[in-house]
């Protein structure tokens, strides 16, 4: 016995009835209805349709391949029988037991799936088991002419999908940023917006397609406000969306100092940040512009009253060379640095002035010592 029933150039395929319309299995879905005059097509759609009457059935169609598709949680199978009708809490309004395509008393002429020999020794199927009736499916397909209609629908759908994607790429999103922090916008994560077409169902015209624009939901620990998702319909003149993005507070993960120096050296403190184990990590760059070999002794980094220092172990810097350095020191809970790192700040705090400085002891240059400081608003130092 064959596993499928041939029906006018197509065939019924064995489909597990439990995956919400077998997504990605079928290119179209047909909502059929049995009337006094026979079967007719109510709707063709790319997505799983909704029944409104007990006389309606749903077929999944993929070229010449088609099958009834039921929206149930679980797929039951058995060597004895094909479908176990769901009972109790699992029962759904549309399932094989409620379908005109299934019957409890199969014959060898209309059974679609084979009954294995184990049925002989294990007995007949209980009433809870039903079989797909191939002849009932054939009547519905032939009377409704659904395959011919689906071919035309699919061709128009393919054209529409190309238009939908073409138009999606031409939707312009131009955010307007309102920065309330005083921190340069380049140090904030860029808010990106995603443009998506709504899932296509039975639409055949681009005028019926909607597009949704949403902002990314993750901006690290910064306080950034973005508008809720918005929906647009196709517009012949195009779509320009200008959402307002609010930068309300800046999360401080590190501090960075501008260049400080003398005739011999320039020092840039890239980063002062919290590290594991109650430590502060410092990264800096030393530029030797003395034209001589310099022997580094120690470095000190100042932030208000806090001093972070480090002694070098016989480090030489060649003429016109750059040396990248990094070191860690124990964190001081009472330090002003600790009150800033790992916290958020708004406009008021960003205007506070802080004195920064760098001390560098070395040998071989004109001065053998650098001790420079400057005052900046916090907004210019945070990263």
Q: Where are the alpha helices (DSSP H) in 230-321?
A: none
For residues 95 and 70, the answer to whether their CB atoms sit within 8 Å is yes
Q: How far is CA 324 from CA 59, 288, 290, 312, in A?
A: 68, 11, 17, 13
For strands 193-197 and 254-255, give the pairing: unpaired
Q: How far, in Å, CA of 315 to CA of 294, rounded?
A: 9
Q: Which CATH architecture has domain 254-380?
A: Sandwich (2.60)
One digit per residue, pLDDT tens: the chain, 383 residues? 233 333 434 444 443 333 344 445 689 999 999 999 999 999 999 988 999 998 999 998 887 778 888 765 444 433 334 444 544 444 455 777 678 887 765 443 443 333 222 222 233 444 445 667 778 888 999 999 999 999 999 999 999 999 999 999 999 999 999 999 999 999 999 999 999 999 899 999 999 999 999 998 777 789 999 999 999 999 988 999 999 999 999 999 999 999 999 999 999 999 999 998 789 999 999 999 999 999 999 999 999 988 899 999 989 999 999 999 999 998 887 888 988 999 999 999 999 999 999 999 999 999 899 999 999 999 999 99
* Nearest by Cα to 5 from 134, 101, 122: 134
- Structure token digits, residue 116: 């294995």
Q: How far, in Å, CA of 355 to CA of 376, rounded?
A: 7
Looking at residue 104, its pLDDT comes to: 61
* Nearest by Cα to 260 from 169, 348, 345, 373: 373
**What count of residues does the chain have?**
383
The domain segmentation of the chain, as residue ranges, is 6-153, 172-251, 254-380
Looking at residue 63, its pLDDT comes to: 77
Judged on CB neighbours under 10 Å (0-12, 13-18, 19+), 117 is: exposed
For residues 143 and 171, the answer to whether their CB atoms sit within 8 Å is no
Q: DSSP E strands: which ranges in 182-278?
A: 193-197, 210-215, 223-225, 230-233, 240-241, 244-251, 254-255, 260-261, 265-275
For strands 65-68 and 10-12, give the pairing: parallel
Looking at residue 196, its pLDDT comes to: 96
Q: How far, in Å, CA of 331 to CA of 343, rounded?
A: 16
For residues 303 and 254, the answer to whether their CB atoms sit within 8 Å is no
- Structure token digits, residue 363: 């040998």
Q: How far, in Å, CA of 356 to CA of 258, rounded?
A: 9
Q: How far, in Å, CA of 13 to CA of 122, rounded?
A: 26
| 195 phi/psi in degrees, rounded to 5 | -110, 120
């Amino acid at each position: 016995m064959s596993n499928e029933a041939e029906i006018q150039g197509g065939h019924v395929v064995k489909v597990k009835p439990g995956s919400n319309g077998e997504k990605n299995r079928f290119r179209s879905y047909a909502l059929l209805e049995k009337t006094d005059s026979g079967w007719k097509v109510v709707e063709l759609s790319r997505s799983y349709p909704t029944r409104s009457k007990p006389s309606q059935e749903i077929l999944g169609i993929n070229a010449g391949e088609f099958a009834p598709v039921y929206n149930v949680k679980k797929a039951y199978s058995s060597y004895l029988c094909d479908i176990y009708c769901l009972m109790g809490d699992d029962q759904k309004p549309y399932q094989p037991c409620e379908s005109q395509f299934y019957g409890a008393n199969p014959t060898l002429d209309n059974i679609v799936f084979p009954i294995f020999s184990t049925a002989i020794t294990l007995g007949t199927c209980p009433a809870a088991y039903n079989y797909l009736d191939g002849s009932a499916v054939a009547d519905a397909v032939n009377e409704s002419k659904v395959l011919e209609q689906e071919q035309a629908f699919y061709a128009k759908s393919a054209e529409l999908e190309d238009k939908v994607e073409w138009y999606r790429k031409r939707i312009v999103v131009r955010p307007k940023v309102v920065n309330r922090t005083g921190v340069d916008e380049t140090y904030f994560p860029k808010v990106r917006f995603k443009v998506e077409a709504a899932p296509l169902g039975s639409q055949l015209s681009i005028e019926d397609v909607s597009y949704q624009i949403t902002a990314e939901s993750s901006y690290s620990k910064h306080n950034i406000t973005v508008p809720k998702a918005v929906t647009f319909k196709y517009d012949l003149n195009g779509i320009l969306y200008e959402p307002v993005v609010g930068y309300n507070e800046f999360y401080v993960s590190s501090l960075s100092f501008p260049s400080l120096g003398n005739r011999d050296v320039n020092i840039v403190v890239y980063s002062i940040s919290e590290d594991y184990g109650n430590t502060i990590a410092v990264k800096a760059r030393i530029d030797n512009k003395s034209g001589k070999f310099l022997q580094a002794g120690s470095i000190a980094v100042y932030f208000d009253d806090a001093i972070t220092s480090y002694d070098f172990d016989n480090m030489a810097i060649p003429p016109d060379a750059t040396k990248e350095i990094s070191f860690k020191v124990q964190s001081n809970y009472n330090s002003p640095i600790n009150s800033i790192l790992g916290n958020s700040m708004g406009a008021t705090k960003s205007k506070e002035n802080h004195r920064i400085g760098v001390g560098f002891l070395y040998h071989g240059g004109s001065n053998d010592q650098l001790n420079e400081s400057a005052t900046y608003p916090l907004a210019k130092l945070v990263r």
